[in-house]
Structure 1
Amino acid sequence: MQIQRFAIRDLLLISPVKHSDARGFFSEVYRSDALLAAGVNEQFVQDNHVYSQKSGVLRGLHFQAPPHAQGKLVRCVRGAILDVAVDIRAGSPTFGHHLAAELSAENWQQLWVPPGFAHGYLTLEADCEVVYKVTQYWNPSAERAIAWNDPALAIDWGTSLPELTIANKDRDNPLLADLEPVFRYQHGNV
């Protein structure tokens, strides 16, 4: 398992190894010891599986407020997505910066999105399936979001976007600048 770090502290791109032969393949897609060695000391409480029928389905940019803040370990097991995490930790040197990574069934990569980040993704193919582990249960009263198209974030969702499919709840989310601080950055922690 290879783990790549980025300029935005605490985000990790994880590349599990696939062992293939005539039968198919085997892969350890989650190892708590490898994540612990990379600084992720979280207990996952739930696995979520999301299916999107069409290309151009945009989900996000979501997060949960403390004490229900979620960390997410995201992977695409069918199709391909553009996965995006935005640093929303007040005081962070990378506040408002984002990372966009293509996750696909082909590249087999995963993105660790810790608490303190807004998260979303765009399906790049039809019939996408995304599986992700979370560190806290979904809590509707803690659910928050920021605008996926906030010009200050300058997220390049792609130059040839098809007609987007977006849930009504994601159409009118606030800009990051209009959001009251929910997370505070303290030496790499929220």
Structure 2
Amino acid sequence: MRITETAVRDAYRIEPEPISDHRGTFHEGLRHSALRAATGHDFRVRQVNFTVSGRNVLRGIHGTTMPPGQGKVLTCVRGAALTAVVDLRVGSPTFGHHDTLRQDAGSGTAVYVPDGLGLGYVALTDDTCMNYLCTEEYVHGTIIDVDALDPALALPWGLTEPPVRSARDAAAPTLAAAAAAGILPTYEQCLRAYRDPSPPSG
């Protein structure tokens, strides 16, 4: 697999290298040692989530407070989506910066989003299914919401009609308002978490 850093520091694109034969194809979606070598982070899976969305559904931008944090590897397993990563870490060299990538089931392209970064996507087809591998279990009340249509972020969703959003996402604050409210993680908090991940539970 090819692992390359995006325009957002510490977020990485993971592109598989399929092996084909008369039966079909095989590819590795994630290899711990390769991801660790590329990022310096120890990725441990503690929860697996799936979402299914109709075309034009826009989810996010979502992050997680520190602690507990929740790093993710996101893959499209059915349909297609345009995914955006946004740096929510106050003090980061790329704070407020974003990068986007198209994900679809055929390519197997994944994105690694560590603690402190925000994630969102718009479904490009009906019945789009996204798979999340998460480093922490979900804790109620720890999700950070930022408006995916914040004009200051200017995320290139390519929308031709108003997106379908949850009431919570539609009411989310801008990045500037979230920073002013003190709800965003700091770059230093996240760096400490990357260097010293919590021990495995159980």
TM range (shorter): over 0.9
Could you say which residue in structure 2 is the equivalent of 1:171?
170
- 1:67 is aligned with what amino acid? P
Looking at secondary structure, tell me which structure has more helix per residue.
2
* 1:63–1:145 contact (8 Å) kept in structure 2: yes
Task: Work out the CA distance in 2 between the residues paired with 1:8 and 1:86.
Answer: 7
Length, aligned pairs only: 188
Cα root mean square deviation, aligned: 1.7
* 2:7–2:97 contact (8 Å) kept in structure 1: no
Aligned residue for 1:141, secondary structure, equals: coil
- 2:91 is aligned with what amino acid? G
* 2:66–2:189 contact (8 Å) kept in structure 1: no
Could you say which residue in structure 1 is the equivalent of 2:142?
142
Could you say which residue in structure 2 is the equivalent of 1:161?
160
Consecutive unaligned residues in structure 2, runs of 5 or more: 193-202
Looking at secondary structure, tell me which structure has more strand per residue.
1
Task: Work out the CA distance in 1 between the residues paired with 2:135 and 2:190.
Answer: 18
Task: Work out the CA distance in 2 between the residues paired with 1:68 and 1:186.
Answer: 14
Task: Work out the CA distance in 1 between the residues paired with 2:144 and 2:12.
Answer: 23
Aligned residue for 1:186, secondary structure, equals: helix
Shift of 1:161: 2.7
- 1:164 is aligned with what amino acid? P
Could you say which residue in structure 2 is the equivalent of 1:45?
46
Deviations 1:138-174 (A, max 9, x none): 112112201111111010110x434421111111001
1:78-117 equivalent positions in 2, closer than 5 A: 78-117=78-117
- 1:51 is aligned with what amino acid? V
Per the normalisation by structure 1, the TM-score is 0.93
Shift of 1:40: 2.5
Identity rate, percent: 37
Shift of 1:43: 1.3
Runs of 4+ in 1 over 4 A off after TM superposition: none
Task: Work out the CA distance in 2 between the residues paired with 1:136 and 1:46.
Answer: 6
Consecutive unaligned residues in structure 1, runs of 5 or more: none
Greater CA drift, 9-18 or 40-49: 40-49
Could you say which residue in structure 2 is the equivalent of 1:152?
152
